[in-house]
Chain A
Amino acid sequence: MRLGVDGRKIPEAAKRGPVASLDHGKQLGLDGLFFRTVLDMSPTLDGGYLRAIRQRADELDMYLETGLGKVNPYATPEAPELRQIGDGDIVLGFRRMMEACAAIDCRELWVGTANYKVAYVGRYAYDRFRTDVSWDEQLRATESFLRKLAPIARDLGIHINIETHEEITSFEVVRLVESVGPDVTGIVFDTANVLQRAEHPVWAAKRVAPYVRQTHVKDALVAYDGDILDFQMRPCGKGVVDFGAILPILAAARPELNLTIENYESFSDRPRRFARLVMEISDPDWLAAHPDLTAEEYAAYLDMVQRYRQRMQAEGMMDRPSWAAWAEQNFHYDEAVAYIEQSAAHIREVCAAQRLPLRAVAA
Chain B
Amino acid sequence: MTGLVRGNVPGFGHDPRADLAATAGLGLSGLMFGSPFEISPGLDRDELAAFKADADALGLALGCGLGSLNVARPERVARIVDAGGGDLRAGLLRLLDAAALLGARTPYFYVGTIEDRLYAGLAWADQLAHVAAVLRELAPALRERGMSLLVKTHEEITSAEIVALIEAVGPDVLGVAFDPVNVVVRGEAPLPAARRLAPHVRQVHLDDCDIRWTGRGVRRVLCPMGEGVVDWPVLLASFAGAACWIDLHRGEFDMPLFEPEWQAHAPGLAVAELGFLAGAAARAETAGRHAGQASPAERLQPMLEWTREKLR
Q: How far is the CA of A224 from the CA of B278 in the complex (A)?
A: 10
Given contacts A299-B257, A306-B213, contact A293 B271 (CB under 8 A): yes
- Residue of B whose beta carbon sits closest to that of A224: B282
The listed residue (B258, B283, B285, B286) touching A299 by CB distance below 8 A is: B258
Whole-angstrom CA separation of A224 from B287 in the bound complex: 12
9-residue interface stretch from A46-54, A59-67, A121-129, A278-286: A278-286
Restricting to B234-276, which residues have a CB under 8 Å from any CB of A? 257-258, 260, 263, 269-272, 274-276
Q: Which chain B residues lie closer than 8 Å to A226 at the CB level?
A: 282-283, 286
Q: Is A362 positioned at the interface, with any CB of B under 8 Å from its CB?
A: no
Chain A contacts for B274, CB-based, 8 A: 295, 298-299, 302
Among A227, A293, A299, which residue has its beta carbon within 8 angstroms of that of B282?
Answer: A227
Select from chain B the residue with minimum beta-carbon distance to A284. B272
Query: In the complex, what distance in Å separates the CA atom of A284 from the CA atom of B217?
Result: 19
Pairwise interchain contact A282-B260, C-beta atoms closer than 8 A: no
The yes or no answer to A300 lying at the interface (CB within 8 A) is yes
Contacts of B216 in A (CB 8 A): 303
- Asked whether A283 lies within 8 Å of B263 as measured between CB atoms, the reply is no
- In the complex, chain A residues 175-221 whose Cβ is within 8 Å of any chain B Cβ: none
The yes or no answer to A287 lying at the interface (CB within 8 A) is: yes
- Which of A224, A298, A303, A306 meets B271, CB within 8 Å? A298
A282 near B215: Cβ-Cβ < 8 Å: no
Q: A295-B263, A295-B270, A302-B258 are in contact. Are A284 and B286 (CB under 8 A)?
A: no
Q: Given A227-B283, A282-B282, does the pair A300, B258 have CB atoms closer than 8 Å? A: yes
B59 interface residue per 8 A CB criterion: no
Asked if B292 is at the interface (CB within 8 A of a chain A CB), the reply is no
Q: Nearest-CB distance from A59 to chain B (Å)?
A: 51
> What is the interface size of chain B, counting residues whose CB is below 8 A from a CB of the partner?
23
CA distance A78 to B217 in the complex (A): 43
In the complex, the chain A residue whose C-beta lies closest to that of B266 is A295
Residues of B within 8 A of A293 (CB): 271
* A306 touches which of B215, B279, B280 (Cβ 8 Å): B215
Please name all residues of chain B whose beta carbon is closer than 8 Å to the beta carbon of A302 when the two chains form the complex: 257-258, 274, 278
Quick check: is A296 within 8 A (CB to CB) of the other chain?
yes
Q: When the two chains form the complex, which single residue of A283, A296, A303 contacts B275, counting CB atoms closer than 8 Å?
A: A283
B283 near A295: Cβ-Cβ < 8 Å = no
Contacts of B283 in A (CB 8 A): 226-227
CB of A288 within 8 A of chain B? yes
B-side contacts of A287, CB under 8 Å: 271-272, 275
Question: Which residue of chain A has the shortest Cβ distance to B286 in the bound complex?
Answer: A226
Please provide the chain A residues from 242 to 257 with a CB less than 8 Å away from any CB of chain B in the complex.
none
Query: Which of B215, B260, B280, B286 is in CB contact (< 8 Å) with A296?
Result: B260
- Flag whether A329 is at the interface (Cβ < 8 A): no
Q: Digit string of A29-62 for contact with B (CB within 8 Å is 1, else 0)?
A: 0000000000000000000000000000000000
Min CB distance B193 to A, Å, is: 14
Q: Is the CB of A282 within 8 A of B276?
A: yes
With a cutoff of 8 Å between Cβ atoms, the chain A residues found around residue B272 in the complex are 284, 287-288
Q: Per a CB cutoff under 8 Å, which of B187, B213, B275 touches A281?
A: B275
- With a CB–CB cut-off of 8 A, which chain A residues contact B260? 296
A300 to chain B, nearest CB (A): 7
CA distance A95 to B285 in the complex (A): 53
Interface residues of A in 292-319 (CB under 8 A from B): 293-296, 298-300, 302-303, 306
Looking at A224, A282, A284, A299, the one whose CB has the most chain B CB atoms below 10 A away is: A299
A225: Cβ under 8 A from any B Cβ:
yes
Chain B residues within an 8 Å CB radius of A294: 271
Closest to B269 in A: A295
Query: Which among A226, A284, A288, A295 has the greatest number of chain B C-beta atoms within 10 A?
Result: A295
A282 touches B275 (CB 8 A): yes
7 A-B pairs with the lowest CB-CB distances in the bound complex, closest first: A282-B279, A227-B279, A295-B269, A303-B258, A227-B282, A224-B282, A284-B272
Taking A226-B283, A227-B282, A287-B275 as known contacts, 15 extra A-B pairs with beta carbons closer than 8 A to each other, sorted by chain A number, are A226-B286, A227-B278, A281-B278, A281-B279, A282-B275, A290-B271, A294-B271, A295-B269, A295-B274, A296-B263, A296-B269, A298-B274, A299-B217, A299-B274, A306-B215
